[in-house]
Amino acid sequence: MTLQQFPSGLPLGMVLVAVPAWLALEGVDVKTIGFVTLAQAPWTFKFLWSPLMDRYAPPFLGRKRGWAVLSQLGLLGATLVLAAVATRPDQVWIVAGAACLIAFAAASQDIAIDAYAVEVLRSEEQGVAAGARSAVSRFAFFLSGRVVITAAKYLSWPVLFALQALLYIPSAVVTALSPEPEDRPLPPRSLREAVWNPFVGFLRQRHAIEIMLFLVLYKFGDNLASSLVSPFLIQAGYDKVDVGVASGTIGLVATIAGSILGGAITSAAGLGPSLWIFGLLQAFSNLGYVAVAQAGVNRPLMYGAMAVETLTTGMGTGAFSVLLLRLTQKRFSATQYALLSSVFALGRTVAGPMAGVMVDAMGWTVFFVVTIFAAVPGLLLLQRFVPVGVRDPVFEAEPPAAGPVPGRGPLALRAAGGFFGGLLTGALCSALLDAARGLRSGHGFDVLGGLARLASPSGIEDTFTLLAVLLFAAVCGVGWAALAAARGVKS
């Protein structure tokens, strides 16, 4: 499992870091580069095609390993295409197309590898495996991003991309040689079952709604603080070398060490105590940034604050990864894990724009104090389904409540209501975030303008935002109907 995670981090570093840096060095304008970065969309929406990977199996290596190998072969081909077009950086749309192919194949690989981990890992292995997987993925991300940019001083970009493509060959060999799960669950009998039952199955768990909110809020305070660390350090008087050493060296090493340590502690102490301990540690670690904001330029203090904050972040990620593994039902491992990880990503997506507005309104010191209290809602939710003192919580589906069985008509009405509720919520949140960005850049807080751009998109970014809101609404609709089925339909 540790070795399989290496090819998972490689394409993320390439698409998010290396390709934008290469285009910038070639003189491509920033607006165009911004469009190219939309290639990361498949990682956000991978749950859309994950049911296909639960339902259908390639003719070799089983459902999950077969899909993983096919995805790695797709990464090999798509990255070689990027290497071939890297001699013509002026053909930006071809580069963007190649980056999208890489991202789609990489997201598909992640679906298969994560689902394989759910099925193959025993409970006593999950802590150590989760920590090691997170550490190796971060190292691969750093290698294919920052290291590749540095290596571009000595090798051409086509050569660098081609070398990275070749790394997927041994990765496919490792996946092919990996064992099948000891207990192989039966696949869904239809595509409808593969799409519908993962929602119903999860929502039948006790405290399912609290768990969903917890996935968003557990690391929310940490996400707020980490989203603006680099601008904070620059405004505090540190130079680019200081920021590079802090985030690129100390932060990377501490995060990797924290991931491994967090996974090991979770295996030894249990999931419940680990979630509580690491949740508190990652909240109070932001006190280091409060001290930096007050002290001014003090490099030992700043490096220490960065080390503590990223170490605890890694530890929290290790325990959180174990939680995702245990929440996922093996029969729907691809779809449920993709959905749960997408819910978790919501907190990180919202944190950045919100953090900018908060800093602008209250200053750095008060902002970092507030991020500590932002962890409280997540811990209150944790008390609901993993009370203090519980070592290893058991997540089991409950039988549905007695009562009349909802028919297709009532479920369709539920779905429509959930869709329109999600549409209004998503549109309002998007408009508020857009207005927050406008306020930060000096253009005023214009919510109506954000809603108007959604109603009449004028560019790729606006169109993508509208698509994201519609997908969010669709998931809300299916989820609201599934909640009715989970609580009212007899098994």
Note whether 27 and 152 are same-domain residues: yes
Phi, psi (deg, nearest 5) at residue 187: -75, 160
If asked whether residues 284 and 333 sit together in one domain, one would say: yes
d(CA 46, CA 491): 29
**What is the phi/psi pair of residue 468, to 5°?**
-60, -40
Tell me how far apart the alpha carbons of residues 319 and 303 are, in angstroms, rounded to a whole number.
Answer: 25
Q: What is the pLDDT of residue 449?
A: 78
Q: Which of 359, 377, 398 delimits the end of a domain?
A: 398
Classify residue 328: in a domain, yes or no.
yes
- Give me 225's structure tokens: 């603080």
Q: Is the domain of 422 the same as that of 376?
A: no
Query: CA 181, CA 211: separation in Å to the nearest integer?
Result: 27
Query: What residue has token string 């607006």?
Result: 31
343 and 323 inside one domain? yes
Q: Are 226 and 332 part of one and the same domain?
A: yes
Which pLDDT score is estimated for 488? 61
Residue 65 tokens, joined? 């390993």
Helix (H, G, I), strand (E, B) or coil at 111: helix
Q: Is residue 257 part of a domain?
A: yes
Amino acid at 425: T
Separation of alpha carbons 135 and 137, rounded Å: 5
Q: Judge whether 134 lies within some domain.
A: no
Residue 334 and residue 474 share a domain? no
Which of 162, 178, 194 represents a domain boundary (last residue)?
178
Going from the C-alpha of 21 to that of each of 129, 317, 334, 445, the distances in angstroms are 32, 28, 33, 32
Show pLDDT as tens, one digit a residue, over the chain (491 residues). 889 899 998 998 888 888 888 888 877 776 677 667 677 778 878 888 888 888 888 888 888 899 999 999 999 999 999 998 888 767 777 888 888 899 999 999 999 999 899 888 888 888 888 888 888 988 998 888 888 888 888 888 899 999 999 999 999 999 999 988 877 777 788 877 888 778 777 777 777 888 888 888 888 888 888 877 878 888 888 887 888 888 778 888 898 899 889 888 988 888 889 999 999 998 899 899 999 988 878 889 989 999 999 999 889 888 888 888 888 888 788 888 888 888 777 777 777 667 777 787 778 888 889 989 988 988 999 988 888 888 888 776 665 554 555 677 777 888 888 888 888 888 887 777 777 666 666 666 777 877 887 788 776 667 777 877 887 788 788 777 777 776 664 43
Residue corresponding to tokens 């030894």: 268
- The reply to whether 202 falls in a domain is no
Spell out the alpha helix ranges (H) of 143-190: 148-151, 157-166, 168-177
Q: Domain check: are 430 and 333 in the same one?
A: no
Q: Cα–Cα distance between 290 and 220 in angstroms, integer?
A: 18
Q: Do 377 and 251 belong together in one domain? A: yes
Label residues 419-452 b or e (16+ Cβ within 10 Å = b).
Answer: beebbeebbebbbbbbbbbbbbeeeeeeeeebbe
Helix (H, G, I), strand (E, B) or coil at 397: strand
Choosing from 398, 421, 451, the residue where a domain stops is: 398
Residue 136 lies in a domain: no
Q: Are 162 and 220 part of one and the same domain?
A: no
Q: Residue 449 corresponds to which amino acid?
A: G
Q: Is residue 195 part of a domain?
A: no
Q: Are residues 146 and 295 in the same domain?
A: no
Is 196 a member of any domain? Answer: no
- Contacts by 454-458 with C-beta closer than 8 Å and gap 24+? 454/427, 454/430
pLDDT confidence of residue 209:
82
Q: How many domains does the chain have?
A: 3
Separation between Cα atoms, residue 331 and residue 322, nearest integer Å:
18
pLDDT at 406: 65
Q: pLDDT of 250-297, one tens digit each?
A: 888 898 899 889 888 988 888 889 999 999 998 899 899 999 988 878
Say whether both 251 and 353 belong to one domain.
yes
CA 65 to chain centre: 22
Q: How many CB atoms lie within 10 A of CB 255?
A: 25
Question: Would you give the DSSP letter of residue 62?
Answer: -
Nearest to 439 by CA among 367, 362, 356: 356
58, 70 contact by CB (below 8 A): yes
371: domain CATH number is 1.20.1250.20
Helices and strands, counts by H and E, the chain: 25, 0
At 20-31, the pLDDT tens digits run 888 888 777 766
- Six-digit token string for 409: 């008509």
159 and 222 share one domain:
no
Provide CB contacts within 8 A for 180, sequence distance 6+. Answer: 62, 65, 120
Closest alpha carbon to 316 in 373, 350, 265: 265
Q: Is residue 403 part of a domain?
A: no
Spatial separation of the C-alpha atoms in residues 282 and 309, rounded to whole Å: 7
- Residue found by looking up tokens 């001083």 in the block: 153
Number of Cβ within 10 Å of residue 108's Cβ equals 24
Cα 266 from Cα 260, distance rounded (Å): 10
pLDDT for 273: 92
Give the domain extent around 477. Answer: 408-488
Q: Report residue 40 as tokens.
A: 């990361």
Q: H-type helices in 152-286, by residue range?
A: 157-166, 168-177, 191-203, 208-217, 220-227, 229-235, 240-244, 251-269, 271-284
Phi, psi of 83 (to 5 degrees): -60, -35
pLDDT at 404: 57
